[in-house]
Structure 1
Amino acid sequence: MENRYAVILAAGKGTRMKSKLYKVLHSVCGKPMVQHVFDEASKLNLNKIVTIVGHGAEDVQAQLGDKSEYAIQEEQLGTAHAVIQAKDFLEDKEGTTVVICGDTPLITAETMEALLTHHEEMHAKATILTAGAEDPTGYGRIVRNQEGHVEKIVEHKDASEEERKITEINTGTYCFDNKALFETLSKVSNDNVQGEYYLPDVIEILKNGGEIVSAYQTSSFEETIGINDRVALSQAEAWMKKRINTAHMRNGVTIIDPENTYISADAVIGRDTILYPGTILSGNASIGEDCEIGPNSEIKDSSVGDRTVIRQSVVHSSSVGNEVKIGPFAHIRPKSAISDEVKIGNFVEIKKTSMGAGSKASHLSYIGDAEIGADVNLGCGSITVNYDGKNKFLTKVEDGAFIGCNSNLVAPVTVGKGAYVAAGSTITENVPGNGLSIARARQVNKENYVERLSMNKNS
């Protein structure tokens, strides 16, 4: 196989987005557009990827990292001008270069591979990725000759009535013989109303020079759309969501209401898991097999084991084991580790805490900055008092301990293995293993107090 390269165009400002955020960093299903494009291109057997950056260059580089080379387009003077910025990286290379726009998040590696293969089989100097559009208004039309090669690309405003009937449109993604590309870029003129250098002019120059210019038509028009405003962004979100959800369902996941289930492009879900309406899996969420998630649950950047049930709850940046029950209305905050067979019930908040296997916090508790052992019972209203106004401190509850209702564990403190804390206690000192700690005021009953109080008020 010959050498292959990619150039990703990501330098445009995107003024029609009307946003402070650089256009290609707007997210589709939880991932920036340019990251979608880069990730799909990375699935190809490429020798090098060069990303052309301009506005927001540092932010794009921070997003993609060091897996790409970068070239800066200081002034945005058109697509041909953008590609020529990659000259120092690619000019002398033999092989094929695919040029992709960073605002086409729906394009897939399969489509790009088909384009590359077609280009190489046709021995073309350039190949255009095309698509069939139900309404081609505004798109450049692909005019082919009798051999099926591209005769020309006609912009909508310049097309004749007959040419406007053509539904095969130019998507803006191309393959080129790499050396021919950079030799021809130097011949592109900016003699047009906008005074810019356009990549389709390379096609025209190659065609006029007698070179083969081919086209590969994808069956999916949706893959090729470019995002220029918030309306198109919402359309891309809908198409991507449908694609992601369909793939998971075909892989054995039950999604009760796909229209109201949101799954990130990087999420992993095991077979026979059921997702109920309102479920949101974002970032690098990983769900095991035979789970029940939702309704109305959010899991972000977290792993969940097998046979776990999470109802109306939130889990962020944490790990959850097998056969865990969470919710309803629980909040697992970052850096928590929930072991197997744990129960976290309604209105329980867990933060930066490890909970050992079989432990329970069934309702109305805050457990923060804690190490909870195995088979611990945290009664209703249990609180780890972890913050003194300046610093956070650790609470340890060892295996088999029982914490009674409405207990405050004032950190730093340790409750030993098998120990009991009486309901209503405020624990400020360590509790020995197998001991009982009672830390509450002695009950005092004032007989006839209410009657005397009433008499005093009336006197």
Structure 2
Amino acid sequence: MSRTCLSIVLAAGEGTRMKSGRAKVLHEVAGLPIVLHAAKAAVDAGSQKLALVVGRDAEAVVACVGAQFPSSRAFPQAERLGTAHAVLAARAAIAQGFDDVLVLFGDTPLVKPETLVRARAEVAAGAAVCVVGFRTQRPTGYGRLLMQGADLAAIREEKDASNEERRVDLCNGGVMALAGSEALALLDEIGNANAKGEFYLTDIVEIARARGLAVRVVEADETEVLGVNTRVELAAAEAIWQGRRRRQTMLAGVTLVAPDTVFFAHDTRIEADVIVEPNVVFGSGVRIATGAVIHAFSHLEGADVGACASVGPFARLRPGTRLGEGAKVGNFVETKNAAVGAGAKVSHLTYLGDAVIGAESNIGAGTITCNYDGYNKYRTEIGASVFIGSNSSLVAPIHIGDGAYVGSGSVVTEDVPPDALALGRARQVVKAGRGREINERNAARKRSKPA
């Protein structure tokens, strides 16, 4: 859309029902603060500028949004005098003269950009105001949208509605699009002659109608306008978001064996022909290439998994993990800041931290990279086609050359040249009959103990 657009995100609420030490809008859905979900939807709908109306924890909210949208501008709302009062806190931004002004709520993380685009289209077609509405079989408590043909005549709060109006199932979703040329004049006319003495944004509908301006409605799914006020609603928003993403992922060619048990982050990227088994959690920053298999009960965060690689079951891939094509990270393996080369195998019971594993190498069960001395971390470099025997400890910093072999149970503290054999363990000693003596002594001690 070639029209200019300002989005005002209202994020000044106290959020007392969350019973939290931080602002409500900083709580997360899919690993992303809910205020960023709203801001991202606005930007994806074509907004060039974001105006963030802030109150509680203003510095933290501004920093959160500004980190992702540096051009956003914050406007404090010192007093809470209603939604129209909150919108007018961004008066200076509105006065810059945008074609469209979107009003969103920072605690409504599920609104879709497509819905906002449809609302903007109504403004582009001549409406001064476009309200996003939804239909529900449980309208109790919502403001009703009262239509006259294609036009919205009024938003009637339930306490003021007649019995007939209360039967209306088209409800106010809160999100609005305003014509920039009319926005300030309409907002300034909103009064506070009501029981609470507050300025309600919903009054803009009848004000616009009284001026002979067109007011339209676009309908969205009820889930899009779910507001988050409690932890229960936060969990509900998470469930809806996950359901959407699971469906999108499967339609894009990914197999989810048990979809309801797989959890994605907001930025998870999975290519077609990946298989994800039950009970898998993707944290932020994960990319899975085509043909990979993520086995059950695995947890991935900040990891890049190459084509046809295999992860798990019961694997944990932490930030900085990179798996090459066909690599295998098996059960009860943990990796962090580790690159595992193409075809390399880390099959079970292993920790790799701050490490590079060359192509086609094999890391035996129970191997650990000793990368931390209590103060600093150090790097382990393992070349291609290296065999590390089971239960080995590799004390970093260390380099093991291509084709080298480390014997099982070794503690390796020095570099190993290519094609060399390294043994870092005590020589085995066998003492005939000593085992029987030890057993007999221990049995006698046990018999001598009081019952």
So what's the TM-score if we normalise by structure 1? 0.87
What residue in structure 1 maps to residue 181 of structure 2?
A: 179
- Label 1:353 to 1:298 Cα distance change in 2 as closer, same or farther (>3 A): closer
CA contact (8 A) 1:426 1:440 kept: yes
Aligned CA distance change for structure 1 residues 334 and 125 (closer, same or farther; 3 Å): closer
User: What is the CA–CA distance in structure 1 between the aligned matches of 2:188 and 2:117, rounded to whole Å?
Assistant: 28
Kindly tell me: are residues 133 and 433 of structure 1, through their superposed partners in 2, closer, same or farther at Cα, counting changes over 3 Å? closer
Within the candidate set 126, 131, 135, 2:129 is matched to 126
Per-residue deviation, residues 103-122 of structure 1 (Å, max 9, x unmatched)? 2211111111111112332x
Alignment correspondent of 2:20: 19
**Cα distance in structure 1, aligned partners of 2:440 and 2:119:** 95
Query: 1:195 and 2:191 equivalent?
Result: no
Further displaced range: 160-169 or 174-183: 174-183
Q: How does 1:282-431 map to 2 (within 5 A)?
A: 282-312=283-313, 329-431=314-416
CA 1:253–1:144 in 2, change beyond 3 Å: closer, same or farther?
Answer: same
Question: Compared with structure 1, are the counterparts of its residues 166 and 417 closer, same or farther at alpha carbon in structure 2 (3 Å cutoff)?
Answer: closer
Query: Percent of pairs identical after alignment?
Result: 37
Q: Is 1:156 aligned to 2:163, yes or no? A: no
Provide structure 2 residue ranges, at least 5 long, that are not aligned to the other structure: 445-451
**C-alpha deviation, 1:135, in angstroms:** 1.7
CA gap of 1:49–1:389, structure 2 versus 1, over 3 A, is: closer
- Please say if 1:138 is aligned against 2:141: yes
Q: CA deviation at 1:453?
A: 6.5
- Residue of structure 1 equivalent to 2:82: 78
Over 3 Å counting, the alpha-carbon distance change for 1:264 and 1:141 in structure 2 is same
Cα distance in 2 for partners of 1:442, 1:434 equals 22
Per-residue CA distance 1:74-119 (angstroms, 9 max, x = gap):
2222111111111112225152212111222111111111111123
Change in 2 beyond 3 A, CA 1:357/1:51: same
Provide the C-alpha distance between the structure 2 equivalents of 1:21 and 1:455, rounded to a whole number of angstroms. Answer: 64
1:273 and 1:233 map into 2 onto residues whose CA distance is 30
Q: Is the 8 A contact 1:354 1:372 kept in 2?
A: yes
Partner residue in 2 for 1:443 = 428
CA RMSD of aligned residues (A): 2.5
Residue equivalent to 1:324:
none
Partner letter of residue 27 of structure 1?
Answer: E
* Higher mean C-alpha deviation, range 95-104 or range 1-10: 1-10
Give the letter aligned to residue 402 of structure 1: F
Indicate conservation of the 8 Å contact 1:401/1:417, yes or no. yes
CA contact (8 A) 1:124 1:212 kept: yes
Distance 1:150 1:365, change over 3 A: closer
Flag the 1:119–1:32 CA change in 2: closer, same or farther, 3 A: same
1:109 aligns with 2:109: no
- Alignment partners' CA distance in 2, 1:453 and 1:224: 73
**1:251-262 equivalent positions in 2, closer than 5 A:** 251-262=252-263
Structure 1 SS opposite 2:90: helix
Q: 1:90 aligns with which of 87, 91, 94?
A: 94
Residue type matched to 2:300 in 1? I
Correspondence for 1:48:
49
How many Å separate the matches in 2 of 1:365 and 1:112?
A: 49
TM-score (norm 2): 0.89
In structure 2, the residue corresponding to 1:263 is in which secondary structure? coil
Task: Name the CA distance, whole Å, in 1 between partners of 2:98 and 2:363.
Answer: 67
- How many residues are aligned here? 439
Structure 2: which amino acid aligns with 1:308?
A
2: CA distance between counterparts of 1:127 and 1:343? 53
- Secondary structure of the corresponding residue to residue 67 of structure 1: coil
In structure 2, what is the Cα distance between the partners aligned to 1:68 and 1:454? 75
What SS class does the counterpart of residue 186 from structure 1 fall into? Answer: helix
Tell me the amino acid that sits aligned with residue 85 of structure 2: H
State the alpha-carbon separation in 2 of the partners of residues 107 and 165 from structure 1: 25
Q: What CA distance in whole angstroms lies between the structure 2 residues aligned with 1:90 and 1:69? A: 12
Distance in 1 (CA, whole Å) between partners of 2:92 and 2:330 is 60
Distance in 1 of aligned mates of 2:283 and 2:373: 34
1:267 matched residue in structure 2: 268
Q: Which residue of 2 is the match for residue 28 of structure 1?
A: 29
Partners of 1:451 and 1:180 lie apart in 2 by: 97
1:372 counterpart letter in structure 2? I
1:307 is paired with a residue of what secondary structure?
coil
Unaligned regions of 5+ residues in structure 1, if any? 313-328
In the other structure, the counterpart of 2:449 is: none
Residues 276, 296 of structure 2: 8 Å contact kept: yes
In structure 2, give the amino acid aligned to 1:430. D
DSSP 3-state at the match of 1:236: helix
Partner Cα separation in structure 2 for residue 234 and residue 438 of structure 1:
53
> Structure 1 residue 234 and structure 2 residue 235: aligned?
yes
2:448 maps to none
- SS at structure 2 position matched to 1:340: coil
Q: State the 1:129 CA deviation.
A: 1.8
CA contact (8 A) 2:384 2:402 kept: yes
Letter in 2 for 1:407: S
**Which digits, 9 at most, give the CA deviation of each residue in 1:206-263, with x for residues without a partner?**
323x322422131512212222222322222222222221222222222222222222
Aligned mates of 1:193, 1:418 — CA distance in 2: 81
Q: 1:188 to 1:400 in 2, by over 3 A?
A: same
The worse-fitting range, judged by mean Cα deviation, of 429-438 and 134-143 is 429-438
Match of 1:320? Answer: none
2:206 counterpart letter in structure 1: E
User: Which amino acid in 1 is paired with 2:266?
Assistant: A
Change over 3 Å in CA distance of 1:431–1:298 after alignment to 2: closer
Q: How does 1:163-174 map to 2 (within 5 A)?
A: 163-174=165-176
Tell me the amino acid that sits aligned with residue 144 of structure 1: M
Q: Is the 8 A contact 2:301 2:317 kept in 1?
A: no
Structure 1 residues 291, 190: closer, same or farther in 2, change over 3 A? same
Distance, in Å, in 1 between the alignment partners of 2:408 and 2:387 is 10
1:56 to 1:213, Cα distance in 2 relative to 1, 3 A: farther
Match of 1:318 in 2: none
